[in-house]
Structure 1
C-alpha cells in the first residue's frame, strides 16, 4: 500500500497537468473541457476539506492528550 501511495503521489502532478491541458485546449470538445475544469474545482475543494479535517483532528487529539 505504501508503494501504491507513493506512485499515486508521483503520478498526480502529471495527471493534473494532463487535465489542465485538456481544459485549455480550444480544439477539445467544450463539454470535455468543462468536465476537466469541474473535476479540478471539485478535487480542489475536497482537498481543502481534507486539510481542514486533518487540522481539526490534530487539535482534538492535542486536547485529548492534555486531558489524560
Structure 2
C-alpha cells in the first residue's frame, strides 16, 4: 500500500498538469474545458476540507492525551 501511495503522490502532479492543459487549451471543446476547471475546483475544496479535518482530529487527539495523562 505504501508503494501505491508513493506512486499516486508522484503521478498527481502530472495529472493536475494534464487537467490544467486541457482547461487552458482553446482548441478543446468548451464543455470539456469547463469540466476540467470544475474538477480542479472540486479537488481543491476537498483538499481544504481534508486539511481542516486533519487539524481538528489532531487537536482532539491532543486534548484526549492531555485528559488521559
Mind listing any 5+ residue stretches in structure 1 that lack a counterpart? Answer: none
Aligned length: 68
DSSP 3-state at the match of 1:31: helix
Let me know the Cα RMSD of the aligned residues: 0.2
- Structure 2 stretches of 5 or more lacking a match? none
Q: What TM-score do you get using the length of structure 2 for normalisation?
A: 0.98
The aligned residue for residue 37 of structure 1 is 37
Deviations 1:21-60 (A, max 9, x none): 0000000000000000000000000000000000000000
Which 4+ stretches in 1 moved above 6 angstroms? none
Inter-partner Cα distance in structure 1 for 2:8 and 2:48: 19
